[in-house]
Structure 1
């Protein structure tokens, strides 16, 4: 009979909060691939073992993808307990002005809009999941990976030189993501839809905004594991779900969501104008 694999407890630090994860050495080996996709985690720091009881125990032999999904679901619960939402959003900031959140489903054009905003001097704060303090309405950090699809990027921004190839996605996070030391106040939240349509923008009604905030804040739970039967959604119990709903209501009442349609460059210009106006009046 084979001996059970050696397991240790590792401290996963996310925006100053700790999740203690019991795992075999496979987690440490895959850490460079996992860390950029965990919100608030610094990929440049090593994964450290600790002498403590685990909050999460990863099954032996779990692949890196499932390991990341399980850790992220538990980070969702951890941060929710501190009034922080793990939002499916790209966050950008500009020195002295604050941050903007780009919302939308997969393929809506959040990344393309972010690329256009980087060209206007903005920096990426969260590449896919942003940690939002829902009471202070500040961004505490986010995922370090900023994955750009080559084909649409080449279509809208040929100057980047991202010619379509066998590698569909490229991570520009090491070049474009920056991490301010302090929480960054949010100036604007925008639901984007990139396309050739006539440019348009408007403020979303509060009921629809609540639904969008709720959907975006459940992103890390809405995942199916490849090699396990765990239902991640069940990690958020009734009290936690009610707490998230309360935070979403507060957020929707204080931070409106605007919609923006059109080419990414035009959307970026309108978002910047909106952010600057709110920065002056905030």
Structure 2
């Protein structure tokens, strides 16, 4: 399913005692997806992989991870980078970030769906051709370019985005390590924070036992201390231009 984050590199190694999952016949499709995603969150942690709420785009083997709260403009900023600056989409909502053998991090997969609100697309990308039907939420995955060579990319930077239509854009501001760690900790737990339709169901957060909770915290701290993080505000185009310029500057070093 396009809304279930999957790894595109080697399969993860899982503890066979923790892989079984039973869903009741009455489980709704939405609850099944939420439960499966929460279980994947736990299984990915066994492989030193975080399931981060964010949009990942890549160019020339380097990935940028755009994070922020719901509605912050992650997808809009990523779309501007994809349509105007030659970046390719890696993940549209949940991004899999894995600690590699060199002590840094790679983007190894995520969700394929790239969903935006039609009204936001029409405001910021008026020339973008949208097909029928007239649903408010539109999955653009089939309309965006893809590059098989970007299936796995080294994580070059993390950007906390805030799309603001009243702003002329602001220069990227570096985030402190603690600020980045707090933001990443929230973003890496979003698959556990969903509320199921079934009012009698247990909280999904119970799928992360204390050992996994500590592992996630260690990975988040490592990620925040290893990968540079910036804060960028402005229109989707402003943010895209700032992020693209940062990566070009890094490439020149």
Structure-2-length-normalised TM-score: 0.87
Q: 1:53 to 1:121 in 2, by over 3 A?
A: closer
Greater relative CO (CA pairs within 8 A, separation 6+): 2
Query: Is 1:194–2:158 an aligned residue pair?
Result: no
8 Å CA contact 1:154, 1:163 repeated in 2: no
8 Å CA contact 2:65, 2:158 repeated in 1: yes
CA offsets 1:178-226 (integer angstroms, 9 cap, x no match)? 3547531011110100012231120011111110110110010010000
Structure-1-length-normalised TM-score: 0.79
Q: For residues 234 and 53 of structure 1, what CA distance do their matches in structure 2 show? A: 13
Q: Which runs of 5+ in 2 are unaligned?
A: 9-16
Question: For 2:86, what is the secondary structure of its paired residue?
Answer: coil
What is aligned with 2:40? 75
Of the two, which has the highest radius of gyration?
A: 1
Q: For residues 107 and 168 of structure 1, what CA distance do their matches in structure 2 show? A: 14
8 Å CA contact 1:97, 1:279 repeated in 2: no
Q: 1:172 to 1:81 in 2, by over 3 A?
A: same
Where in structure 2 are the equivalents of 1:1-282 lying within 5 Å? 35-40=1-6, 55-94=20-59, 96-119=60-83, 120-135=85-100, 136-162=104-130, 166-176=134-144, 178=146, 179-180=148-149, 183-195=152-164, 196-200=166-170, 201-227=172-198, 228-281=200-253
Identify which range, 72-81 or 134-143, moves more after superposition: 134-143
Q: Which runs of 5+ in 1 are unaligned?
A: 1-34, 43-51
Q: 1:253 to 1:209 in 2, by over 3 A?
A: same
Q: For residues 106 and 177 of structure 1, what CA distance do their matches in structure 2 show? A: 24
Q: What's the CA shift for 1:146? A: 0.4
User: After the TM superposition, which parts of structure 1 deviate over 6 Å for at least 4 consecutive aligned residues?
Assistant: none
